[in-house]
Structure 1
Amino acid sequence: MEIVFVYDAVYPWTKGGVERRLHEVGRRLSNEHNVKWLCVGWWGKEKRIQEGVELIPVCKAQQLYSRGRRTIREAMIFAASLLKKSRIKADVIDCQVFPYLSVFPFATRKELVLTWHEFWGDYWYEYLGKAGFFGKAVERIVAKLKARTIAVSETTRKALESLGIRATVIPNGVDFPRISEIPASSEEWDVIFVGRLIREKNLELLFDAMKLLPELNCLVVGDGPERERLSKIAPANVDFGGSLGYEEVISMMKSSKVFAIPSRREGFGISALEANACGLPVVTIRHQMNAVVEIAEKTGFVAEPHARDFAEKIRLALEMRREMREKCINFAKNFDWEVIARRLEEFYEGVHSPPNEGRAE
């Protein structure tokens, strides 16, 4: 098959969950298929092959974030630049829905697949204020396009179902064999958080919980626009590890005891699944837009969104971590990227089914 991914950010130039997914499944699918990725040229204007995937830049590098948010300007430039590739030869065109505008150059293609990592709905108003009306409108227009639809979590699938859209859940994954080979760090931590330091991660709640657990230590791994502010309000038992390479992150997880992620919004939460693969139980909070709940309900604990309950769930996870270790690891094995790639391949093979099959009756 000729498989074309459409998404602006590319791993490892940026390290979010979407680009990780495309990188991992793309390099596996490229063993048997021709895989291309229409993207922003973060490295320059020339095409390049990365682990079997042909990266095709359609525009030069742009400013991706401003004040912790994706820039509309970058989304518009990327979408406009895709117009010249709208007739690219393909059996499957898999558009990652966010940032929405990049879907429209391929809206009439019968090979179109829409992969939803989140559905925002009314959250647009919290994200953009009154201007959120336009974001919400564009999201709904994209949702109504005739295309085969993938959701990476049950949380997103249910949100789409409320609009009459039937989606197939094909989740994100982990590189389980590679994780198994990485040794633990010599440094030890009771609690670890890994993620981009943005307001949606809700790290203030983790800090408040750690104030109630002064006998424990916590490591925050990651970087982002909130780094400076968060470093000023963090309690004494919280340290910042900065942005680390993949093996360093896994090594730190393996030397920790509990993975804590108090996010208000997560489309999936690959880092939580990686923590499971390292044998760590996951503690998160209950929120309608937090898909990590789906993981923590099986391999950890879900707290109410206040510091005392979050602290209690961390303490409970610490007490039960040894008996939960094998359960966490076995759960993560089901999400190995090889398994996810084969599921995606099977879905792609059915792309030419009637277009109304992707819509609920």
Structure 2
Amino acid sequence: MRIAFVYDAVYPWIKGGVERRVFEIGRRLAAEGYEVYWFGIGWWGNREIEHSGIKLVPCYKPVNLYSKGRRKISEAILFAISLKRKANLNEFDIVDCQVFPYFPSLVCSRHKNLVLTWHEFWGDYWMEYLGYLGYFGKIVEMIVAKIRCKHVAVSPTTAKNLLEIGVKAEVVPNGVDIERIKRIKAAEKGYDVVFAGRLIREKGVDLLLNALKLLPDSISCLIVGEGADKKRLVEISKKLGLNCYFQNFMNWEDMISIMKASKVFALPSVREGFSIISLEANACGMPVVTINHPNNAASKIACGIVCDANARNFAEALLEAMEKKKKLRKMCVNNARKYDWDRITKKIVEVYLR
């Protein structure tokens, strides 16, 4: 069976949750004998290459995906146009297109065995994200939702939001590589609190910093990530006098090693489509402290403590998680085991073959 994945950002050149999902599922499918292609932006160059068994096909030149912390509409349109011109998707038995940023989904819409994978459903959030331009985004999202195909949601939260507009989606979640995590040794140095993610307003790192200010000065925090808000967040941390360290994104093994040596993972955002890193933290034995919000799918997936979105409650939850880490450790690891990538791959194949 020939399977085509469609998503502009490609792992490991771009390290996000969507990219990780396609890579982890794709390489497992390839190992099982399926012929797997990934149509994306050519971060590696302008020729087709093979990576971990997946044939990577460049459809457009490398460009900045974000402007001022937000996805660029122009990039999504140009990638979709190039995809239509360069990819003969009718040659494939299955096309699995990641819905965001929408325009590629429209290009794929006529394929007879199309799977649209939803990582989030934004609805009215479009207006908050883009202002008046959000009306355009909301309309495009609704058009994609009406495409007749197999719809997959990565979380029950997204599936519920889709059902509210009449779209039935099967939940096939993201996962973690349990066996690989087991083999990685803990780092020599750990931290009381760890955050990893894009440093943009939506991730809520401001809330984390304000919560840390309410904790004892001895509490250490590592913030791993890059983004439009990094300089501002570093300045806030210095101004507040926090015992806080900032690092750019690091390779996956190093991140796991640090989490194994640390106490608590912080996820202060109110909007998460899934959060693979939270499950990986669980697999390392770390409880996750996150926000109680209907758009935060991680609050119903990760094991840890859920609290209200204010600095005092978040600070109290961090302290509680640190105190209870030994008691929560086994629960966290068992929770992560339910999301092993091998299980997830078998489930998506079942969807493909229906």
Q: Please state which band the TM-score falls in when normalised by the shorter chain.
A: over 0.9
The equivalent position to 1:349 in structure 2, one of 324, 342, 353, is 353
* Distance apart, 1:88 and its partner CA: 3.4
1:193 alignment counterpart: 195
1:232 aligns with 2:235: yes
**Residues 1:3 and 2:6 aligned together:** no
Farther off after superposition, 186-195 or 83-92: 83-92
Cα deviations by residue, 1:17-49 (Å, 9 ceiling, x for unpaired) = 001100111000012211111111111110001
Q: 1:248 aligned to 231, 242, 254, which one?
A: 254
Asked if the contact 1:174–1:273 (Cα under 8 Å) also holds between the matched residues in 2, the reply is: yes
Equivalent position SS for 1:30? helix
2:175 aligned counterpart, secondary structure: coil
Distance in 2 between the 1:272 and 1:180 partners?
16
> Who is 2:34 aligned against?
33
Paired letter, 2:324: M
Q: Is the 8 A contact 1:284 1:301 kept in 2?
A: yes
1:215-226 correspondence to structure 2 within 5 Å? 215-226=218-229
Give RMSD over aligned pairs.
1.0
Structure 2: runs of 5+ lacking an equivalent: none
1:1-361 matches, within 5 Å, as 1-31=1-31, 32-84=33-85, 85-214=87-216, 215-234=218-237, 235=240, 236-296=242-302, 299-350=303-354
Secondary structure in 2 matching 1:109? coil
1:188 deviation in Å? 2.1
State the shift of 1:295 in Å.
2.2
Q: CA deviation at 1:333?
A: 1.1
Contact 1:154/1:169, CA 8 A, preserved across alignment: yes
Tell me, what secondary structure is at the counterpart of 2:91?
coil
Distance 1:204 1:88, change over 3 A: same
CA distance in 2, matches of 1:60, 1:261: 33
Letter in structure 1 aligned against 2:344 = I
Q: Please give the alpha-carbon distance, in whole angstroms, between the structure 2 residues aligned to 1:177 and 1:249.
A: 16
**Deviation, structure 1 residue 242:** 2.2
Are 1:115 and 1:150, in contact at CA under 8 Å, matched by a contact in 2? yes
Q: 8 Å contact 1:155–1:289 — kept in the other structure? A: yes
Identity of aligned residues (%): 52
Secondary structure of 2:161 counterpart: helix
Corresponding residue SS for 2:90: coil
How far apart are 1:11 and its partner, in Å? 0.4
Q: Which amino acid aligns with 2:251?
A: G
Cα shift at 1:86: 4.6
Take 1:79 and 1:242, find their aligned partners in 2: how far apart are those partners? 30
Contact 1:86 1:105 in 2 (8 A): no
Task: Give structure 1 regions of 4+ aligned residues with deviation exceeding 4 angstroms.
Answer: none
CA contact (8 A) 2:211 2:311 kept: yes
- The answer to whether the Cα contact below 8 Å between 1:125 and 1:131 also exists between their aligned partners in 2 is yes
Secondary structure of the equivalent of 1:88?
helix
Cα deviation code 1:189-227 (max 9, x no counterpart): 111111111111111110111011124111111111111
Query: Offset of 1:241 from its aligned partner?
Result: 2.3
- Which secondary structure does the structure 1 equivalent of 2:222 belong to? strand
Q: Quote the Cα distance in structure 2 between the aligned partners of 1:87 and 1:310.
A: 47
Structure 2 residue aligned with 1:358: none
1:70 Cα deviation after fit: 1.1
Measured after TM superposition, the shift of residue 182 of structure 1 is 0.9
CA distance in 1, matches of 2:306, 2:96: 33
Q: Deviations over 1:61-94 (max 9, x none)?
A: 1221111111111101110011122543111101
Quick check: 2:4–2:89 contact (8 Å CA) kept in 1?
no
Query: Contact (CA 8 Å) 2:89, 2:95: kept in 1 or not?
Result: no
- Paired residues of 1:197 and 1:222 also in contact (CA < 8 A): yes
Q: Measure, in 2, the Cα distance between the counterparts of 1:205 and 1:260.
A: 10
CA distance in 1, matches of 2:41, 2:122: 24
Amino acid at match of 2:36: V
Counterparts of 1:281 and 1:188, CA distance in 2? 15
Distance (Å, rounded) in 1 between the aligned partners of 2:50 and 2:248: 30
Output the amino acid matched with 2:311. A
Measured in 2, the distance between the counterparts of 1:191 and 1:78 equals: 38
